[in-house]
Structure 1
Amino acid sequence: MSESFDIAETLDVKGESCPMPVVKTKGAIDGLPEGGVLEVLSTDSGSMSDIDGWAQGTDGVELLEQVADGDVYKHYVEKTD
C-alpha cells in the first residue's frame, strides 16, 4: 500500500499528456538520492502504461505501485541506484 512508502518527492503532472508525465518523471527521479521514492500524480490514463514501460526499460528505477484514484493516477517509483 502506498502509505508504507517513504515518499521523498511528489511530482504533479495532472493535466499533462504523453510524453510529459514520463519526461518529467525521469527528470525528477534523476534528482533523488538512491532509495528515494517519487510519487507521480497524473490525470492521463495513458500514464499507467507509459510510466510502467519506461520503468521496465530504465536501469536504476523500480515501479513500486500504481493506483487509479478516481480521475488521478498515482505512480510510486523508487530510484535504485
Structure 2
Amino acid sequence: MSSRTLDLCGLKCPLPVLRTRKALATLLPGDRLVVVSTDLMSAIDIPNLVRETGDTLVRHDTSETRQTFLIEKQ
C-alpha cells in the first residue's frame, strides 16, 4: 500500500476532478490518495467521482481556504 498527495490548490472546476480521476487510474487497490483543493466545487465533485469509480472516501476535511480528501483505491 502506498500513499500519494495531489496538490490541486488554485485550480478551478473541472480540473481538480479530472486530475483526481487520472491519478486514481494509476493506483493499485489499497493505495491511498490525498487530494488538496481550494475549489469549492470539489466538495461535490470529488465525492461524486469516488462513488462513480467505486473507490472509498475515507475522510473529507474542510477549512476556510481548502478541502482535503483521503481516497482509498478499491
Structure 2 unmatched ranges of 5 or more: none
Q: How does 1:47-58 map to 2 (within 5 A)?
A: 47-58=42-53
Q: Which runs of 4+ in 1 moved over 4 A?
A: none
- Alignment length, in residue pairs? 74
Structure 2 residue aligned with 1:3: none
Q: Among the aligned pairs, what percent are the same residue?
A: 32
Q: How far, CA to CA, are the matches of 1:50 and 1:25 in structure 2? A: 10
Q: How far, CA to CA, are the matches of 1:30 and 1:57 in structure 2? A: 13
Q: How far, CA to CA, are the matches of 1:76 and 1:70 in structure 2? A: 18
What is the aligned counterpart of 1:17 among 9, 12, 24? 12
Q: How far, CA to CA, are the matches of 2:24 and 2:69 in structure 1? A: 12
Helix, strand or coil: the match of 2:53? Answer: coil
TM-score, structure 2 as length reference? 0.89
Structure 1 unmatched ranges of 5 or more: 1-5
TM-score, structure 1 as length reference? 0.82
Helix, strand or coil: the match of 2:72? Answer: strand
Alignment of 1:41 onto 2:32: no
The CA RMSD measured in Å over matched residues stands at 1.5
Q: How far, CA to CA, are the matches of 1:31 and 1:56 in structure 2? A: 17
1:7 shift after superposition? 6.2
Structure 1 residue aligned with 2:68: 74
Q: Is the 8 A contact 1:7 1:39 kept in 2?
A: no
